[in-house]
Amino acid sequence: MNNNEVIQVEGLTKMFGDFAAVNAITFEVKKGEIFGFLGANGAGKTTAMKMLIGISKPTAGMATVAGFDVFTQAEDIKKNIGYMSQKFALYDDLTVKENITFFGGIYGLSRKRIKEKSKALIEELGLEEVANKLVGALPLGWKQKLSFSVSLIHDPKIVFLDEPTGGVDPITRRQFWEMIYKAANQGTTVFVTTHYMDEAEYCDRVSIMVEGKIEALDTPKKLKEQFNAANMNDVFLKLARG
């Protein structure tokens, strides 16, 4: 048990009947790392992630997240991580401030802390003008940046991001990744899934899932060397073609 590892996974498996959605995967993630979890749709990445964030019970294997066991301490995991899903990020019919207050409350922050955090967050994102506007009226890029910040509101050790940058323009995507860099720099571990292969390059290490198994796991640079590929997209193609 390495103290520097915030996620430890060994032989983690999820079966649906006879079908192995996640087939005995093993890996670890270090503190402050940006870990990219890649794979095609249906490869098993979402299922794997659900087990790690404590909302799905594994069939076999072992995993600890932030020191808590995914089998027996799922509730503790949920309290200690941040989660951002592209689909259910914020409430469109609440204002920016109301959303921050709501999620702060859910994570158990005191009112004073929520106020502090709210102010800091709004300033940092430059949302002063729209603080009292409904989130639904904001452009997609702002929503995503706000959503990310909200997932960090309780200063979790690890934050899980599920396809966080879908659909936004290239500039906003980069701004988003700069926020990720900042968080990682401050010691937060970032576990991110994405299907934008170029974003894989921003990660410290990347794993690629194919049909429930991890077929590649290394830094982007080493993967490109290993597969003699010019970029991560090519790595993926070469891996998939077998």
Residues forming the site for other proteins (CB under 8 A):
40-42, 139-140, 166-172, 174, 177-178, 181-182, 184-185, 195, 197-198, 201-202, 220-221, 231-233, 236-237, 240-241
What does residue 176 show for φ and ψ, rounded to 5 degrees? -60, -45
Query: Which residue, 112 or 221, has its beta carbon nearer to other proteins?
Result: 221
Whole-angstrom Cα distance, residue 191 to residue 180?
10
Specify the amino acid at residue 237: L
Whole-angstrom Cα distance, residue 11 to residue 231?
29
Closest contact distance (angstroms) between CB of 201 and other proteins is 3
| 202 touches 180 (CB < 8 A) | yes
Query: Which residue, 158 or 200, has its beta carbon nearer to other proteins?
Result: 200
Closest contact distance (angstroms) between CB of 91 and other proteins is 19
Q: With H, G, I as helix, E, B as strand and everything else as coil, classify residue 191.
A: strand
Paired strand residues for 110: none
Whole-angstrom Cα distance, residue 2 to residue 25?
18
Query: Which residue, 116 or 178, has its beta carbon nearer to other proteins?
Result: 178
Closest contact distance (angstroms) between CB of 163 and other proteins is 9
Closest contact distance (angstroms) between CB of 236 and other proteins is 5
- Number of other residues whose CB lies within 10 A of the CB of residue 216: 18
The H or E element that residue 187 is part of is: none
Query: Which residue, 72 or 228, has its beta carbon nearer to other proteins?
Result: 228
Query: Which residue, 100 or 203, has its beta carbon nearer to other proteins?
Result: 203
Closest contact distance (angstroms) between CB of 200 and other proteins is 8
Query: Which residue, 81 or 223, has its beta carbon nearer to other proteins?
Result: 223
Q: With H, G, I as helix, E, B as strand and everything else as coil, classify residue 88.
A: coil
Closest contact distance (angstroms) between CB of 173 and other proteins is 8
| 90 touches 135 (CB < 8 A) | yes
User: Which burial class, exposed, middle or buried, applies to 163 when counting CB atoms under 10 A from its CB (0-12, 13-18, 19+)?
Assistant: middle
